Amino acid sequence: MVTPNFWLTCPRPNPQAHLRLFCFPYAGAGASVFRSWSDELSLDVEVYAVQLPGRETRLRESPFTRISPLIETLAQVLLPYLDLPFAFFGHSMGALVSFELARQLRRQKSPSPLHLFVSSRRAPQLPNPYLSIHHLPDTALIEELHRYNGTPQAVLQDPELRSLFLPLLRADLAVIETYIYMSEAPLDCSISAFGGLQDREASRKELAAWRDQTSKTFTLRMFPGDHFFLKRERYALLRVISQDLRRIATGHIEFG
């Protein structure tokens, strides 16, 4: 068992855990998004939430604006924590980051995830159908944020909070919007994709295209809600994640 560092938070350390679940947040968010997940998953699963620079406990640090240096850094930071079987969960930007991290681990011949959970993000090989917004003036960017329904109104309406949040969000959006997909062999791990039925940013068809990124099994599940369905549907989502973790662990881990 290694000691958590500033890149990771572990709400409930568990030396007896048989599997680790690393969770990657959406644009503008931090590790606190996953604070309660440890309480709602199996005792055999140890949850680590990834805390990227520029937010929450790392507010004074500069956020990444490109995915490649972020992935290369994460691949080294997480390496000491990959001594147990593990899986990745990522929502929106986090889905893209976790996917590219899985590919980077494979390239450097490091341990790879048993399973990849991707949520509210179209498959990476699909072109971006939307105009870039990370460079927009504040007023126009705020208007775009209203479409996603993920940023609290208190943040957007408070000048001080807005001055802290918008630069971070711009950086995260730059990570997403400058991303260029490079073709590689499908991952050798199963993939579960999740989406919101009312999400205009990741349709069922766009989520189903994740099937091409795995040589193993693929499942797609849709939930009521929009791009941020994971907030209201957290309990239903975590039940499904628990089921999938048990299923993919068969032959590797016996859960208690």
Residue 3 DSSP SS3 = coil
* Cβ neighbours around 224 below 10 Å, total: 11
CB-based contact 35:10 (threshold 8 Å):
no
Q: Are strands 8-9 and 45-50 parallel, antiparallel or unpaired?
A: antiparallel
* Cβ neighbours around 245 below 10 Å, total: 24
Is residue 68 flagged as an active site residue? no
Closest CA to 121 of 26, 46, 49: 26
Query: Catalytic one among 38, 62, 92, 112?
Result: 92
What ranges in the chain are assigned the alpha helix state H?
Answer: 37-40, 67-77, 93-107, 138-148, 153-157, 159-177, 204-208, 229-232, 234-249
51/100 Cα distance (integer angstroms)? 17
Q: Letter for the amino acid at 46?
A: E
Q: Write out the catalytic residue numbers.
A: 92
